[in-house]
Structure 1
């Protein structure tokens, strides 16, 4: 699995429009094969700084989305709302899921 991490500084006065545009873009990207989920994070210290993560099943599925007309159009909308952006591409080495609902959530310690 692959995770993209995109950190952006949004233009002053554009945060609400940026969040709406990102939600629209995330819905479209989520329809592409191999998209495993996306998350938008906002810095509590700097409410104009956002981090977006997206998990993809493979580099091929990510590349198919990145080369799509959908992505080009959606990115153009987001580009107008931000001052800067940096992107990282990371291989997911391990992921730990929370325990299932039927499993005990705490363990007695001796």
Structure 2
């Protein structure tokens, strides 16, 4: 599995609009056959900072999506809310599932 972690630093006061937009366009990613799911998280330590975690079947398929027109359009809709951010990618080495998972 290939995991992507995005860090979004938002313009203050735009959190609600960002969340609503993210929810309204999220199917662009989750409908992709190589996507295994995604999560939106709000930092409990930093004001106006969010994270998105998405899992993909492999890096090749993620990179194909990353350079697609669908992704560019998706990113364009979120861009007005951002003042900065970063992307981190990683390969899952091991997975331990909890008893409740």
CA displacement 1:64-92 (0-9 Å, x = unmatched):
21122111011011111110011111011
Mapping of residues 1-110 of structure 1, within 5 Å: 1-99=1-99
CA displacement 1:31-69 (0-9 Å, x = unmatched):
111101111111123241111110000112202211221
State the alpha-carbon separation in 2 of the partners of residues 23 and 64 from structure 1: 22
Moved more, 43-52 or 54-63: 43-52
Give structure 1 regions of 4+ aligned residues with deviation exceeding 6 angstroms: none
Give me the CA root mean square deviation.
1.6
Three-state SS of the structure 1 residue aligned to 2:62 is helix
Query: Which runs of 5 or more structure 1 residues have no equivalent in the other structure?
Result: 102-110
Q: Over alpha carbons, which structure has the higher Rg?
A: 1
Offset, 1:100: 6.4
State the alpha-carbon separation in 2 of the partners of residues 96 and 86 from structure 1: 27
